[in-house]
Structure 1
C-alpha cells in the first residue's frame, strides 16, 4: 500500500531554511508551506524572516500565550492588516477594553438556548443541499461548492430571517473576492509596515467591500426600525445586546462589523469543516459505514435536528478529527508585548509568536500516527490535552460561535450521510492550501449515490 493510500491529503512542510523573498512567495501560494517539518517533532521552533518569530507546539506554553498572559500576546500586526479592511475593529480584531465590552455584549447571542432555536434553519438548509445533490444525478459533485452554498444559506437565514432587503449574492461575492486576493499575505505584512501603507490587493477589493458594508448598514437600520417577529435571529439578538457592566450597545458601524465577522467566519469555516469531513468519510469507507449506521439508527430517514446532536457522537468525532487534520484557521499569530520565556527560550517584545494549529494537530509528541484519519481519538475527549487541540482557539478569546458551528456541522453531515453513499473520484484528491483559511484546492469531488429511503420514524424527535 502506498503512503498516499494510507494517509489523506497533507501539506509538504519545509525541510530547509528559506530567505524572506522565497518565504513571501510561498506564503502567498500557501501559508502552511512555510511551516518547518520539525514543527511536527519539536515543542517550539524559532527563526528570523525579516522579524524574529517562534512557532509554539507545546501545550503548556500555548496555555500561557492564550490564557495566562493573554494581554501580553495580542493578535499580530499581520492578522489585523489582513482582516481589518473587511471587518473593522470588531470582536475578532479588537483588543483590551474595546474587545471586552463587545465580548460581553455579544456572548448571550450564542447561548445554548439561542443556538438551539436556530437549528431548524440549519435543518432546512441541509434538506435543500440533499435536493441539489440528488438533482445533479449520478455524476461527480464538488461538495466544497455545495457546502459553501449550504452554510451561506444557513448564515443568511440566521442573520436576515425577516426578509430584509439584503443582496445575499453580492455579499457572498464580495467576501469571496476579498479572501481570494486581498487576504493574501503582503511583503509589507511580513516586514511589519503600518496599516496606512497601501497593500495593492486590498486597494483593488475596496469597492466590493464598500458595497457590502453599505448593504449591511441598510439592513441593520431597517431591522432596527421595524423590529422582529417570532424567534429572534442573530441580527435581532445583536440589536438587543448590551454590555451588562456598562449597558453600552453597539453602534450601527459596530453592529455591521461584528455581523460581517459572523457572516465571514460563520459560513466559510463551517463549509470547510464539512467539505473536509465529507472527503475523509469518502476516503475511509469503514468510517462512512459506521457513521451511516449511527445516523440511520437515530434519524430513521428524517433530517437531523438540534435535539439529535448529542445522540450522534460518532458524527461529532468525525468532525473533530477533520478539524484536527484540516483546521480552518491553520495558524494563530500573536505579537509579544514584553519579555517572556517559552519552552526555556527567550521571547522579546515585538517577536511574532505563532501557534501553527495545522502542525499542532500533526505533532508526533502529542498524537499517535498523527497523519492518519482516526475519529476514535475523540471517543474520550477528557484524555486529550486541552491545548493540544485548538480548532476554535482557547482562553478568553475562544471562538464565540463554536457551539453554533458544531451544531450546524453535525446536522448537515448527518443529514447527507443518511441520504448518500460517497465515493472518491480518481485523480481528484484535494490539496490543502491556506490563504486566510485552509481550503481544499480543486474542490472536494465525490460521487454521491442516493440510498434507498428508510421508512420515516412515526414519532420523530423534534
Structure 2
C-alpha cells in the first residue's frame, strides 16, 4: 500500500472547467482551445445538465443514465455527427464510427483478434519497445517523456499491425496521422451551431491528400501481405485477414481491412502513449508512489525489461496506470445523438438532441470519488469495489474499447521497465497542461528529469 496524501497536499494539474455560461461565441473559442473547457465546473457535482447552444444538449454524469446510454438503450445513441465528421475521412466506416448492422458484423469479426491469447502473444513486441525507449533516455538530462511514449507505442502498434512490411512507410503514416489530428479535430462554428453533415467544414478540407496517401500505403501493405502469406506468429493484419463474421461468414475487403487497421494504429498508439505520459508525470509528482513502484518493479524484473508473465507481480504499477486513466482519460469527452425520444434522470430527451458524456467530469465527480483531484493509486487496490459506471476510461457496453486489454498490457510493461531503471523528477515551470482536442493531451509535453534508479 502507498501512503494517502493529506487533503492539503498540492494537486496535479487539472483542466479549468467553465464557471459561467459561454454562449455560442464563447463555446466556439473554448472548443477550439480545449474541448473540456466546455464542461461546467458544476458537472463535477451534478448528475445531469441540460441546455441549448443552437441545439439542445444534455451532459450526463449520473452512472445509471450513463448505463442506459452505453448499454441498455445503446441503439438510440450512436456516435454524434461531429465525431463522424472528424473521423470518417480518415478511418471510413470502420469499427469506431460504424453503426447498426455494419458495426455489428465488424465487431464480431474483430473480437477474436483481441482475445487474451492473441494479446499475450504480442507482448514480446512491447518488451522490445520498452528496451528501445530505455536505451534512448540519457540520465542526467531532461526529456519529453510524452514524445518518447508516442515513439514507443507507435513502434509497438506498427510492429503488431504490419510486422516486417516493407511496403508500409511508418514515418510517413505517423506524420500524416499527426497532421490530420492537428488540422481536423478542432471544433468548428458549424459544429457548435449544429449544421448538418453535408455543410462543408473548410478546416477539414485541407488535409485530404495526406490521409489519401496513407490509405494508399496501407492498401499496398495489405496487397503485399496477401501475396507473401501470413507471418509466424501472425500479426493483427494476418488475424483480421483470416477473420470472418461467425454469423454471415463475411470477410473484410481491402478497404475494410485498411480502415480498421488505421483505426487500430491511431487509437492503439495515441491512447497508450497518453496514459504512459500522464502516468510518468504523476509518478514524478509523487516521489513516494514512484519509489514504491520502483521497488516493486526491481523486485519483479531485476535487470531485464518486463514481459507478460510479470504482470501479476506488478499490482502497484497497474494501479498507477488505472489512476492515470481516471485523472486524464484519453477519451475524456464523448458525444452521442439521440435517434428517438427518451428520458434521462427525469429529463426529456428529444430526437436529435446531443447527449454528452464528459468522462473527465465523471472521473472527478465529488459524489462518486473521495478527493477526486488527488493522485491516489490505492483507490484501485480492489477494482471490483469501484461501481462500473463510475469509471469508464474505455467506455462500456457492446461498444467498449476492443483494444483495452492490449493497451493495459502495453502500458504496464513499458511503465514498469522504465520505473525499474530510472528516476523521474518534474522540471520546474514545465508541468504539462491537459488540453483535449481529439484526445486529452499534455500540451507542452511531459518534461521530466531522468536519472538512474
Interval containing the TM-score (normalised by the shorter chain): over 0.9
Question: Within 2, Cα distance between the matches of 1:4 and 1:93?
Answer: 43
Q: Where does the alignment leave 5 or more consecutive residues of structure 2 unmatched?
A: none
Question: Within 2, Cα distance between the matches of 1:113 and 1:399?
Answer: 17
2:104 equivalent to 1:87: no
Structure 1 residues 184, 2: CA separation in 2 closer, same or farther (over 3 Å shift)?
Answer: farther
Describe the SS at the equivalent of 1:418. helix
Q: Deviations for 1:154-211, whole angstroms, at most 9, x for unmatched residues?
A: 0111011133311101100000001111111112222332333222222111110110
- Give yes or no for contact 1:334–1:352 (8 Å, CA) kept in 2: yes
Choose the corresponding residue for 1:354, options 348, 353, 356: 356
Describe the SS at the equivalent of 2:137. helix
Q: How far apart are 1:5 and its partner, in Å?
A: 6.0
2:249 equivalent to 1:241: no
| Corresponding residue for residue 67 of structure 2 | 63
Question: Within 2, Cα distance between the matches of 1:209 and 1:440?
Answer: 24
Structure 1 residues 17, 3: CA separation in 2 closer, same or farther (over 3 Å shift)?
Answer: farther
Choose the corresponding residue for 1:217, options 216, 219, 224: 219
Question: Within 2, Cα distance between the matches of 1:142 and 1:351?
Answer: 41
2:3 equivalent to 1:11: no
Question: Within 2, Cα distance between the matches of 1:258 and 1:140?
Answer: 37
Choose the corresponding residue for 1:267, options 254, 269, 272: 269
TM-score normalised according to structure 1 size: 0.95
RMSD of Structure 2 on Structure 1 (CA): 1.4
| Corresponding residue for residue 121 of structure 1 | 125
| Corresponding residue for residue 388 of structure 1 | 390
Q: Deviations for 1:367-401, whole angstroms, at most 9, x for unmatched residues?
A: 00100000000011111110010000000000000
| Corresponding residue for residue 228 of structure 2 | 226
2:43 equivalent to 1:43: no
Spell out structure 1 runs of 4+ moving beyond 4 A: 1-5
| Corresponding residue for residue 57 of structure 2 | 53
| Corresponding residue for residue 401 of structure 1 | 403
| Corresponding residue for residue 28 of structure 2 | 24
TM-score normalised according to structure 2 size: 0.97
With 294-303 and 118-127 compared, the bigger mean Cα shift is at 294-303
- Give yes or no for contact 1:159–1:234 (8 Å, CA) kept in 2: yes
| Corresponding residue for residue 429 of structure 1 | 431
Question: Within 1, Cα distance between the matches of 2:187 and 2:171?
Answer: 26
Question: Within 2, Cα distance between the matches of 1:122 and 1:22?
Answer: 43
| Corresponding residue for residue 170 of structure 2 | 168
Question: Within 2, Cα distance between the matches of 1:61 and 1:2?
Answer: 33
- Give yes or no for contact 1:52–1:351 (8 Å, CA) kept in 2: yes
- Give yes or no for contact 2:105–2:245 (8 Å, CA) kept in 1: yes
With 119-128 and 20-29 compared, the bigger mean Cα shift is at 20-29
| Corresponding residue for residue 151 of structure 1 | 153
Q: How many residues align?
A: 449
Question: Within 2, Cα distance between the matches of 1:300 and 1:186?
Answer: 51
Question: Within 2, Cα distance between the matches of 1:21 and 1:37?
Answer: 19
Question: Within 2, Cα distance between the matches of 1:450 and 1:130?
Answer: 11
Describe the SS at the equivalent of 1:368. coil
| Corresponding residue for residue 250 of structure 1 | 252
- Give yes or no for contact 1:424–1:447 (8 Å, CA) kept in 2: yes
Question: Within 1, Cα distance between the matches of 2:258 and 2:201?
Answer: 23
Q: How far apart are 1:94 and its partner, in Å?
A: 0.3
- Give yes or no for contact 1:330–1:358 (8 Å, CA) kept in 2: yes
Describe the SS at the equivalent of 1:278. helix
Question: Within 2, Cα distance between the matches of 1:285 and 1:10?
Answer: 19
| Corresponding residue for residue 313 of structure 1 | 315
| Corresponding residue for residue 280 of structure 1 | 282
